[in-house]
Amino acid sequence: MKILQTVLVHQVLTETSKNQLLEKYKGKQVQLQKEGDQLRFELKKLEKTKKFQPTSLKAHFEKEISKRQEQVKLLDFKIEQLDILPVGSELKEREIQAIVEVEVGSDWDELVQTKTIIVKDGIVSEIR
């Protein structure tokens, strides 16, 4: 019988991966700021058409804009934390699902134990 098991993927922080993460975070920040600007532009455009009720329209757009501002703040925090972390630290990158073979006589505790894959600069360096 086969079952699905969650496997954690950790990334070892190197100078290369640190720079890549920094670029990724900054790119996301720029994208979110562009989206916020676009939403403000769309709001003004829709306010001029007067097809929608201004209060509900403004509330909806403000909610979306503030959501993006919160994401930018979160990315600021991640960038600060990334600067603090020393090279060699392990970061949880994601969780994936793996198929595990279960047979009669298998050690159940061994099977259900959370597995971890360690990745260093895009290459699997260890499986725990």
Q: What are the domain boundaries of the chain?
A: 2-127
Cβ count within 10 A of residue 11: 20
Q: State residue 122's pLDDT score.
A: 87
pLDDT tens-place string over residues 62-96: 999 999 999 999 999 999 999 999 999 999 999 99
> Residues of the chain whose pLDDT is less than 70?
none
Q: State residue 69's pLDDT score.
A: 95
Inter-residue contact 87 to 18 (CB < 8 Å): yes
pTM of the model: 0.75
Q: State residue 117's pLDDT score.
A: 93
User: Mean pLDDT for the chain?
Assistant: 90
